[in-house]
Chains A and B, each alone.
Chain A
Amino acid sequence: MNEKRTLSILILDDEPIVSKRLKPSLEKRGYVVETFTESLEALKRIKERNFDIVITDLKMEGVDGMEFLTEVKKRSPETEVIVITGFATMETAKESFKKGVFDFLSKPFKLGEITEIIEKAEEKILSR
């Protein structure tokens, strides 16, 4: 447990409830978490540093989620991206996976569902 590397997670969702809810829970599990509700700010942040995991909504004002995750993957292909969206369609899911998204989760979801995906992503990252 102690030699465990601390993973960094960025969460971007324009509805504040998502971050508000996820942040303390992920921090309690030992992750370092940064949250954003404005995609432009999140974009600025990923230009400053890389994150191990990025969790992003798709449909947002300003820079939309697809653009954002494209940028994330371009800058740091190692980053695992998890898409969460309330407008899940087959097309968006397909497009996300084409862009190398780790997993796709439609809102609303259970806390347990997303932590399970994060744990899988973590496994993948730590096995590299």
Chain B
Amino acid sequence: MLRRWVNKILGREQEQRVSFQEIFTLFQEILSLNNRTLDLIAEANDKLSGDYIFDRHYIETFQEETASLVHQLIYKLNLISPGKYQELNESFHRIESDIRQILAGRLLCPTDRYVLDYKEIAEKHLGEAAGGKNTHLAEIMEFLGITIPPSFAITTAAYFHFLQENGLPEKIEKIIDRWHHGETGIGEASKEIRSLILAARLPADIRKEIDMYLDAIRQAHPEKKPYFAVRSSAVGEDSEFSYAGQYASRLNVSRYRVIEAYREVVASVYSERAMEYRQSKGVLESEIAMAVACQQVVKARVSGVLYTYHPVHPEKETMEISSAWGLGAPIVSGRVLTDHFTVARRAPHEILELKVVRKQTALMPAGGEEKTEVPVPEEQQTIPSLTDEQLRRLAEIGLRIEKFYKKPQDIEFAIDENDEIVILQARQLAMRGKTLPVARELAEILEKYPVISRGRGTVAQMGIASGTVFVLENDEDLDKVPQGAILVARYASPRLARVIRKVSGIITDVGAVTGHLATVAREFRVPTIMNLEHATEIFETGEEVTIDAQENIVYEGLVRELYHFSLAEEDIEETYEYRLLRRVLKKIEPLYLLDPKDPNFTPQGCRTLHDIIRFVHEKVVEEIIDYNYHHPHNMDAVSGKLDWKFPLDMVIIDMGGGLVPGAVGTGRKIVPEQITSPPMRALLDGIAHPGAWNNEPMSVDFGSFMSSLTRTMSAETMSPRELGQNLAVISDCYINVSLRLGYHFTVIDAYVVDNVKDNYAYFRFSGGVTDISRRSRRAAFIGEALARHDFHVELHEDLVEGRIKKMDRQGMLDRLNLLGILIGFTRQLDVKMVTDEQIAYYIEKLQELLENDNHE
């Protein structure tokens, strides 16, 4: 039937009569594909909670299914308007080819910028462009407010561009091939590749950007000539952890030698050690990319290294610190004698042990390129290089970084001329202890600890956390949440996301694991259990607990063994499959095309599959309206514009029996009284429900509501053409409504007849103009309201889906009336819903409204 119809459409110049039924079938298919795709994406996102076991096969299947659905969407849109959106196919193939490359292990740089400042790396999660070293420092600075040296990152986009411009990838591949085939030794291969890289020209565009950032640092510190540390910050399989120390770093480089140092660091990708390591681990050459960190050298009075745990004896609960006078390089490489301090992990960080050595020389930056070893004044040689006060500050900083990354840390620091602690590097500390508990022994140990809750609630983010409980009584107390606390709250409010970097764990009475807070908890890996019902009553502020969100257990007190166990265990989020799914989702899930008026709202502007889905949805509604209302091609469907006191700007298309005969006259206007479609009437009655706006004390009345509605609409929809986005396709038993009011979207699809078995209604709602927390709150309200009226509800951040089936005629019409009321009622609620308590309040208001209605 489709083929027949396509032929018809293609030949529509000759043959004008295309049945609306056919085009509408296509429209419905698009809507249903749209919903299925978005559901599939939401499900894949849930897989990242840590609660699922999935493998590569799943990621591939997910990608294939999603791509196939999106491809069908494009195909169907192009059937409706042949040739008009052909470029969508190009965007689709571009995105899909990126995903295939990601699946094949190729590293794609998520940005095309060559240089990034740290704020951007942290805010936009550009770790895959900047590499581990850059990203950790950027996060420490941006999220924890800890001082780091002025720095910038040279991205992997620069790395790829640099190699490509010089034709190096092919040359390198040939050399590697020869080595793999035993035609050349590893030493020779490594040397050959490195000299190619060292001799290559850095493209002018990269050079220019680096110069710009170097100048900026220079200008910020005009008094002295800055020197730089140029360090490797590789991206790729296990790069941060296992490759530690395999790549080159150049310290104390003058600004004119930064480019040279950059080449040296890039060349170190092909050091013998690194090549050997990749071969032994089966890591492909294509799976490595080098970003570079460029940091201004700190004029250090003291430098050192801090371990937040004893790497062999974590049970001692100590931190280990080594330090010496001057610059840090000799300490890191172990070339000089250092003072050593052992400090308690627990505040106030008592100094347990102190070994002071005689420090006869120190490394100081000399005036020029070189650094010199200078003699240390006699009186400083035998005193500790760190004071008690500095040690305490260091310990606090170390713990904060450890809490943030949930792993013991190996931190390089310097103390500058102003006595400020500056963090130069932070990475995970490899624990090698035999005394680390193993899973087998844990079973027995854990039995001894009292359990507060087991198997109750739902895990939103896995992990293990210990800390002091803080029960949140009201939102104002959020500022009082202490560092490292276990936050216990009534609702999983998106508002709590504000303190996500401060808390060790979260427990809530109610909440959706697909909500915004869960997403944020996942992002920051904060162990979170939701729906623990009476959590706020069970737990008391000040008590110490340990959450095992792996097993969904909360223990009384600090269960050290469990925490130590988690320190040594590989994070599930760091496994290859997780990272792969995250990378793939980045090409699928984000929505960049929001505003149809944006000049980028084009097929070429689609950057993700979600963008394509959104684009198709917008255009198909537009096309249907255009085809039937603006330029009617067919006579079997009647269309007109709704003329009503509420300016919905809706085009109504009647497929049969939805309007009184002859309703649409020459003005092509339809008044509500002419609508006979029972489901449409029920919906409009709901929208026009008088009480919806009057009963509510802080609310505006309906008139001003509508004026605000018109305001937002006119602000974003300039032309009358744009206003025609609202569409209702109706018949005597069916409605399909697409509404775009402001920035939120509603889709309703319902069928109501006497045969109960055939009846259904589908409702989808998303978007809004306020921040995500208010939108999510509104979504939670709508979800709750629907659930109370027998809808099967699914919530995902600010998206609500409600389904209902097999209800009798009157029951269906009542539900549609409710949907109408909700559309009006919630129009502005996201603006008003400032706290979570309001969810319950508005639910009550809505209930009152419905009950009054019944009495009338």
Contacts and interface: CB of A to CB of B under 8 A. Distances in A.
A86 interface: yes
B51 A111 contact: yes
Contacts of A18: 53, 55
B572 interface: yes
Given A15-B57, A86-B58, A110 B439 contact: no
A28 B53 contact: no
B58 A108 contact: yes
Interface in B55-113: 55-58, 61
Interface stretch (A19-27, A39-47, A71-79): A19-27
Nearest to B458: A112
Interface string A1-16: 1000000000001010
A110 B47 CA distance: 9
B443 to A, nearest CB: 4
Contacts, number: 71
A114 B47 CA distance: 16
Q: Which of B51, B440, B550 has the most CB of A within 10 A?
A: B440
A20 B444 CA distance: 21
Given A15-B57, A28-B442, A28-B551, A108 B447 contact: no
Contacts of A109: 52-53
B577 interface: yes
A107 B54 contact: yes
Contacts of B552: 112
Contacts of A1: 447
Interface residues of A, number: 25
Contact of A15 (B56, B442, B444, B569): B56
Given A86-B61, A108-B47, A24 B439 contact: yes
Nearest to B59: A108
B53 A111 contact: yes
Interface in B247-301: none
Contacts of B447: 1
Interface string B577-616: 1000000000000000000000000000000000000000
Contacts of A24: 439, 569
B443 A27 contact: yes
Contacts of B570: 20
Contacts of A128: none
Given A24-B439, A30-B443, A112-B51, A17 B577 contact: yes
A25 B51 contact: no
Interface in A26-80: 27-30, 32
Nearest to A22: B53
B635 interface: no
A35 B234 CA distance: 32
Nearest to B54: A108
B518 to A, nearest CB: 15
A110 to B, nearest CB: 5
Nearest to A20: B575
B552 to A, nearest CB: 8
A27 B53 contact: no
B446 interface: yes
A23 B439 contact: yes
Interface string B422-455: 0000000000000000111011101100000000
A6 to B, nearest CB: 9
A28 B443 contact: yes
A110 B446 contact: no
A107 B55 CA distance: 8
Contact of A107 (B57, B439, B446, B575): B57
Contacts of B440: 27, 32
B442 A110 contact: no
Given A86-B57, A108-B52, A21 B439 contact: no
B439 A108 contact: no
A1 B336 CA distance: 55
Q: Which of B51, B52, B53 has the most CB of A within 10 A?
A: B53
A40 B848 CA distance: 68
A22 to B, nearest CB: 7
B439 A28 contact: yes
B5 interface: no
A1 B444 CA distance: 10
B576 interface: yes
Interface in B356-397: none
Contacts of B58: 86, 107-108
A24 B562 CA distance: 12
Given A17-B575, A17-B577, A25-B551, A108 B442 contact: no
Contacts of B444: 30
Q: Which of A15, A24, A114 has the most CB of B within 10 A?
A: A24
B572 A21 contact: yes
A112 B53 CA distance: 10
Contacts of B57: 15, 86-87, 107
Given A20-B575, A28-B442, A28-B443, A110 B55 contact: no
Contacts of A114: 53
B439 A17 contact: no
B53 A107 contact: yes
A123 to B, nearest CB: 16
B522 to A, nearest CB: 15
B442 A27 contact: yes
Nearest to A86: B57
Contact of A86 (B51, B55, B438, B575): B55
B196 to A, nearest CB: 35
Contacts of B550: 25, 28, 111
Interface string B15-57: 0000000000000000000000000000000010001111111
Contact of A21 (B47, B53, B56, B551): B53
Contacts of B576: 17
A86 B47 CA distance: 15
Contacts of A110: 51-53
Interface in A82-97: 86-87
B698 to A, nearest CB: 42
Contacts of B52: 108-111
Interface string A93-117: 0000000000000011111101000
A112 B447 CA distance: 20
B462 to A, nearest CB: 9
B383 to A, nearest CB: 47
Nearest to A26: B439
A21 B438 CA distance: 15
A14 to B, nearest CB: 9
Given A27-B440, A28-B551, A32-B440, A15 B51 contact: no
B269 to A, nearest CB: 26
Nearest to A24: B439
A68 to B, nearest CB: 18
Contacts of B55: 13, 15, 17-18, 86, 107-108
A25 B53 CA distance: 12
A108 B443 contact: no
A86 B53 CA distance: 11
A65 to B, nearest CB: 13
A16 to B, nearest CB: 9
B837 to A, nearest CB: 31
A27 B572 contact: no
A75 to B, nearest CB: 26
A24 B57 CA distance: 22
A85 to B, nearest CB: 9
Instruction: List the 4 closest A-B pairs by CB distance, nearest first.
Output: A27-B439, A108-B54, A30-B443, A15-B55
7 contacts: A27-B438, A29-B551, A107-B53, A108-B47, A109-B53, A110-B52, A111-B51
Interface of A: 1, 13, 15, 17-18, 20-25, 27-30, 32, 86-87, 107-112, 114
Interface of B: 47, 51-58, 61, 438-440, 442-444, 446-447, 550-552, 569-570, 572, 575-577
Given A17-B53, A28-B443, A28-B550, 14 more contacts: A17-B575, A18-B55, A20-B570, A21-B575, A22-B53, A25-B550, A25-B551, A28-B442, A28-B551, A86-B58, A108-B53, A108-B58, A110-B52, A110-B53
